[in-house]
Structure 1
Amino acid sequence: MDSWTLDWSHGSVTVHAGAGAIGRTLFRLSDDREVEPFHEAPWIRTGETVEPGLRNLRGDWSCLPFGRVYGPDDRLVGSWKSLAEVPMPTSSSPLVESDFLLHGYSANSDWCLVSKTQHELVLALDYPTDSPIRCITRSVRPIEGKAGIDVSIKIEARRRCSRPYGFHPNFALHGAPGSFHIQPGPYEFGLTHPVDQGEARAEPNSRINSLSEVPLKAGGSDRFDRLPFADQREEIIQLCGIEGGVHLVDHHDNVAWDLSWDTTTLPSCLLWMSNRGRMSAPWNGRNLCVGVEPVASAFDLGSIIASAANPIAAAGIATAIAIAPEQPFAVSYRLVGHTLFG
């Protein structure tokens, strides 16, 4: 598989053709240490063959549409369950085959290199001809003089449509339980995943005010702002109406990360806490990371629920992006690392 690397004053970044994913990225901090924040799935290291949507699960990729299409048999709870059977609005454009892929065609395809300069890598992907999406372009630009990168996308449409979209940065968890601290910016409210799944400990479809106190199915509450968890589990929380971004403190690597983006465009942050809880192949109880994902989406529940009057959208927080031939969609995020002192 093709990949391309850029070096700059404060590190190096590698981008892969598969899913257009950012892979190994070294940031050189103020104390001259080189730190790699991103996760790489265990099956990549061992060379196992897995489905396209998981094959290149690395540091970050673009998800269009975000998630997968959930149906009535997916153990959705509360008002979310009936939304799986609501027809797509005509204005959203009907779904096509590629919309049903995990995290969309963008996460299941090989991207092409458009250009590589000393300062920027640009990749692009044309969507199938029956899709309302014409193409997506992705650029990765190191920040000269800083341990940071800017990542941006532009989406062009053949016809008007709306789809959930999200970036998918995945951070490695190398330290002891509780050594990785998530400090989000202000947000309107948080919700736990509205799916009754055995590998989760959180009470599904619960409204939360703080990651430090999340209700559990077994009763009581637990801290979800300090990872890894001591036990095996899989958790998903959406922070809705977030402002600014998220500050991450990794005490194991003595580094802090600032992840920021235009939260008026992608108004939520989805936290995917993969704590060795998935036992089916290819996960096999091995995957350990946290996804800190800027999204306009309703969790990972796919285009039908994202386009419906779901509880997040009903609160005035967008769960899909609108794209038109005359109005391409563009957004970016920035990740910058800092050494912790003391």
Structure 2
Amino acid sequence: MDKIWHLEWPHGSFNVHAKGGMLGRVSLRNGNQRVEPFYEAPWLDDGTPEQAGLLGQLRSEFPCVPFGVPWSPESVTTSWQTSLAASVDEHDAPLDSSDDLLHGYVCVGEWTLVRQTDLSIEIALEYPASSSIARVVRVIRADPDAPAIDFSVRVEARRKTRRPLGLHPNLALPSNPGALRIHPGRFRFGVVHPGAPEPGVSHAAPGAVFEQLDNVPLRTGGTAAFDRLPFAHDTEEIIQLCGVDGALTLTNEESRVAYRLTWDASILPSLLLWISNRGRTHSPWNGRNLCLGVEPVASAFELGCRAALAANPINARGISTAVPLEPGRPVEIAYRFEVVTP
């Protein structure tokens, strides 16, 4: 059985799961009502056979160390193929098998409780001895005065290296098309996923570069607005906003509530938007999944360590796709999720 730690305070409540260190069942106060902004995979409690890896506990929010999973070079556009085929630089520690897990060992490992107080839960995970990562520590803290949660993730290295890192908040999308408005803050440029996350289904033009979220190029020509969700059509999309200012606001016009995510963009300079809009019809997705991943990253999409560490079309434009790690100098990432006035 998955061990769960629970926390309640006057402005909300949440669970933290030992398996994968996942945040779950988040409820926050919005005036006199409660809202549940986050997503949990529908197959977790509907009788679907237990899924392997990350899909077996895909919940509201979690860190990714390292971010992504290997893709084959032939699955992406020409401009990205060299990056995916690159070998790891001799100055970076060799990749371990845990580096090739979808979003890292953090998502499948069994976390332990360090301490729990009235307002916070601190958990930790020791990495396999062969990994360049030694330990990850995660703190989830309730704001005593507001419907807000403050997070921190500390990554401790065993060897000097670089790795793509990221955060993975998943928001539940409303049922009405276009009812959720995305206000991404400032960003230098955006890039469409170079491989199409669901081939034959995804609409955005693989590898295309854009400047506005309401003007994303399509593979059939023309553009479309990606700042209002869900789409009326079924699709699966991933885009990366690069050179961000570390702030994102989401307005749900259906429930008349707004949320704000802020993070340290000096460490995580991009924002990945995973738009799961009923586009995957195979099990366990079954054409029913509806969520938005709002994922601060230092990564090259979710294309894995090799692409992120190599020269690629994103870091060629001055945006880091990996974080330097060194023993004795932990990297700590702070971020916050809160209910705000629409």
Task: Give, in whole Å, the separation in 2 of the partners of 1:183 and 1:255.
Answer: 14
Partner residue, 2:142: 142
- 1:339 is displaced (CA, Å) by 4.5
Partner residue, 2:42: 42
Q: Could you list the runs of 5+ residues in structure 1 that have no partner in the other structure?
A: none
Match of 1:320 among 319, 322, 339: 322
Partner residue, 1:64: 65
CA contact (8 A) 1:256 1:337 kept: yes
CA contact (8 A) 1:23 1:40 kept: yes
- 1:72 is displaced (CA, Å) by 2.2
Within a 5 Å distance, the mapping from 1:282-297 to structure 2 comes to 282-297=284-299
Match of 2:248 among 246, 249, 254: 246
* Shift >6 Å, 4+ stretches: none
Partner deviation per Cα, 1:181-234 (whole Å, 9 max, x = no partner)? 111110000000011422210011111111111111122111100000001100
Partner residue, 2:27: 26
Q: Secondary structure at the match of 1:90?
A: coil
TM-score by length of 1: 0.97
2:102 is equivalent to residue 78 of structure 1 = no
Partner residue, 1:302: 304
Q: Secondary structure at the match of 1:311?
A: coil
Partner deviation per Cα, 1:136-177 (whole Å, 9 max, x = no partner)? 000100111111001110011111111111110000012300
Task: Give, in whole Å, the separation in 2 of the partners of 1:120 and 1:272.
Answer: 28
When structure 1 is superposed on structure 2, of 180-189 and 81-90 the one drifting more is 81-90
Partner deviation per Cα, 1:39-65 (whole Å, 9 max, x = no partner)? 010111214210121111111011111
- 1:291 is displaced (CA, Å) by 0.2
- Give the partner amino acid of 2:33: R
Within a 5 Å distance, the mapping from 1:103-182 to structure 2 comes to 103-182=103-182
- 1:281 is displaced (CA, Å) by 1.8
2:207 is equivalent to residue 205 of structure 1 = yes
Task: Give, in whole Å, the separation in 2 of the partners of 1:19 and 1:258.
Answer: 24
Across the two proteins, how many residue pairs are aligned to each other? 338
TM-score by length of 2: 0.97
Task: Give, in whole Å, the separation in 1 of the partners of 2:167 and 2:235.
Answer: 23
Q: What is the RMSD computed on CA atoms of the aligned residues?
A: 1.1
CA contact (8 A) 1:78 1:205 kept: no
- 1:78 is displaced (CA, Å) by 2.6
Task: Give, in whole Å, the separation in 2 of the partners of 1:67 and 1:315.
Answer: 21
Task: Give, in whole Å, the separation in 1 of the partners of 2:168 and 2:244.
Answer: 16
Partner residue, 2:3: 2
- 1:113 is displaced (CA, Å) by 1.2
Task: Give, in whole Å, the separation in 2 of the partners of 1:245 and 1:299.
Answer: 19
CA contact (8 A) 2:246 2:269 kept: no
Query: Identity over the aligned pairs, expressed in percent?
Result: 46
- 1:303 is displaced (CA, Å) by 0.3
Q: Could you list the runs of 5+ residues in structure 2 that have no partner in the other structure?
A: none
- 1:338 is displaced (CA, Å) by 2.4
- 1:329 is displaced (CA, Å) by 0.7
Task: Give, in whole Å, the separation in 2 of the partners of 1:12 and 1:78.
Answer: 47
CA contact (8 A) 1:39 1:289 kept: yes
- 1:310 is displaced (CA, Å) by 0.7
Within a 5 Å distance, the mapping from 1:269-288 to structure 2 comes to 269-288=271-290
2:17 is equivalent to residue 16 of structure 1 = yes
- 1:326 is displaced (CA, Å) by 2.1
Task: Give, in whole Å, the separation in 2 of the partners of 1:303 and 1:47.
Answer: 34
Within a 5 Å distance, the mapping from 1:191-202 to structure 2 comes to 191-196=191-196, 197-202=199-204
CA contact (8 A) 1:52 1:109 kept: no
